[in-house]
Amino acid sequence: MQDPLSRIAALKRPPLLVEAARFGIDGYDRARLLPRLIGAGGFGPARAATALLDREAEIEARRRSGSGDYRPARHVELIVALMGEARLLRAARLS
């Protein structure tokens, strides 16, 4: 199994989703956003990233299938959270 950073780096998503997420990354508040996206719990960055990757894969499948319950705003939130957790993982590896 790949580590979360490798999995995040391998994601290929529409440029519009990624660009929208880049606008939100500076305001990323993990204490506020993570419980809403993956539930309450004291997740470290690696565990949170893995859970977010699983949720994002579900949302991506909905997007690709044209499902009526696909919500672009939720998808952007997940990508913002993935970017934020990736930053935390990289910072932890450097220290």
> The whole model's pTM is what?
0.91
pLDDT tens-digit map of 64-78: 999 999 999 999 999
Place of tokens 């220290």: 95
Which pLDDT score is estimated for 76? Answer: 97
- Short-list 71, 95, 93, CA closest to 6: 93
Residue 86 is which amino acid?
A
DSSP-derived 3-state class of residue 56? helix
